[in-house]
């Protein structure tokens, strides 16, 4: 189902459910709770009920995650085994779920997806070079109609069988993730407790050159991998609390819809980061990570994913 409108309701919390507000103009949704920690949704058909993703991060959940990160970051550098400013190349295992020809994305599309990720994290769109790069390690292909059509319901079985490597290896799964979702991710702090479930799932049609209008440049995987590396949405906690815990992304009350020239939803200095990969804009609007986001990803990597 192609997107026909630009509105979905932000996801509700899994551990501490929050009362849903009026549907904001969002295209991605945050998360933490069960297997998936962060989910990206695409526009829904007008008139249909908004989908409430059961995996949203509340302010208390973010605060708890930050306390865990602070405690792990206090360990001696030798125990962390990697400095936060090191260059990191992440091995990537791509798992293609398909039903016959449906969803059996070609190798060339996978190569374009990896290139999109390397360009995004390398600052090729005009943002900061985060110091992260991605190298394709292996591609697996699984012809299973049920797994392809409903990866959420079959997530544990899929990942238990297919997951490769450890906390520092990105397992990227492609499938038909449903009528509105574009993908979901796990946060780094879940990897130790549920190692087989660690990874990113994206809609096969969101890879570069895919048929989903406005979401066809591979930035669903870029966005979800940001969560996998420890980033929150730029609008986390809105104008209050501590936001996304990154100093050089201005606070943002409302997620971006489409690709506006500019918007400013908080009284604090700075316009909304509408071109940031961790906002909710169209793929054509996304161009950059910030230096602060790069530093946070390295700190989280050192605490949770470094070998």
Catalytic residue positions, numbered: 224
What are the tokens at 212? Answer: 């989903």
- Please give the order of strands across the beta sheet that includes 181-185: 38-41, 181-185, 200-203, 170-175, 88-98, 132-143
| Cβ neighbours around 67 below 10 Å, total | 10
Half-sphere exposure in the Cβ direction for 210 (13 Å, CA) = 33
Give the length of the chain.
Answer: 307
What's the rounded Cα separation, in Å, for the pair 212 and 82? 39
∠ CA(150), CA(181), CA(296), 5° rounding?
A: 115
The CA distances from residue 18 to 15, 22, 25, in Å, are 9, 12, 18
What's the rounded Cα separation, in Å, for the pair 65 and 53? 20
CA 193 to chain centre: 19
């Amino acid at each position: 189902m192609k997107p026909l409108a630009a509105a979905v309701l932000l996801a509700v919390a899994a551990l501490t459910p929050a009362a849903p507000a009026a549907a904001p103009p969002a295209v991605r949704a945050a998360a933490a709770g069960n297997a998936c920690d962060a989910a990206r949704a695409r526009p829904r058909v007008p008139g249909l009920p908004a989908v409430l993703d059961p995996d949203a991060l509340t302010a208390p959940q973010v605060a708890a995650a930050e306390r865990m990160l602070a405690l792990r970051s206090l360990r001696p550098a030798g125990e962390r085994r990697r400095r936060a400013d090191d260059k990191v190349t992440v091995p990537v295992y791509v798992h293609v779920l398909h039903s016959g020809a449906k969803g059996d994305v070609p190798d060339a599309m996978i190569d374009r997806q990896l290139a999109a990720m390397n360009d995004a994290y390398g600052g090729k769109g005009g943002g900061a070079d985060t110091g992260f790069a991605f190298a394709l390690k292996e591609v697996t292909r699984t012809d299973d109609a049920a797994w392809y059509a409903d990866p959420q319901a079959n997530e544990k079985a899929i990942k238990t069988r297919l997951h490769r490597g450890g906390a520092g290896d990105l397992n990227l799964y492609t499938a038909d993730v449903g009528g509105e979702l574009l993908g979901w991710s796990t946060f780094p702090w879940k990897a130790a407790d549920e190692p087989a479930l660690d990874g990113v799932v994206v809609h096969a049609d969101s890879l570069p050159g895919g048929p989903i209008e406005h979401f066809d440049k591979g930035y669903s995987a870029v966005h979800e991998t940001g969560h996998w590396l420890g980033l929150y949405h730029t609008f986390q906690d809105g104008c209050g609390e501590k936001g996304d815990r990154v100093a050089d992304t201005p606070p943002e009350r409302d997620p971006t819809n489409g690709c506006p020239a500019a918007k400013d939803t908080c009284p604090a200095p700075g316009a909304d980061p509408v071109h940031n990969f961790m906002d909710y804009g169209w793929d054509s609007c996304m161009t950059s990570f910030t230096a602060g986001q790069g530093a946070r990803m390295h700190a989280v990597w050192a605490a949770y994913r470094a070998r």
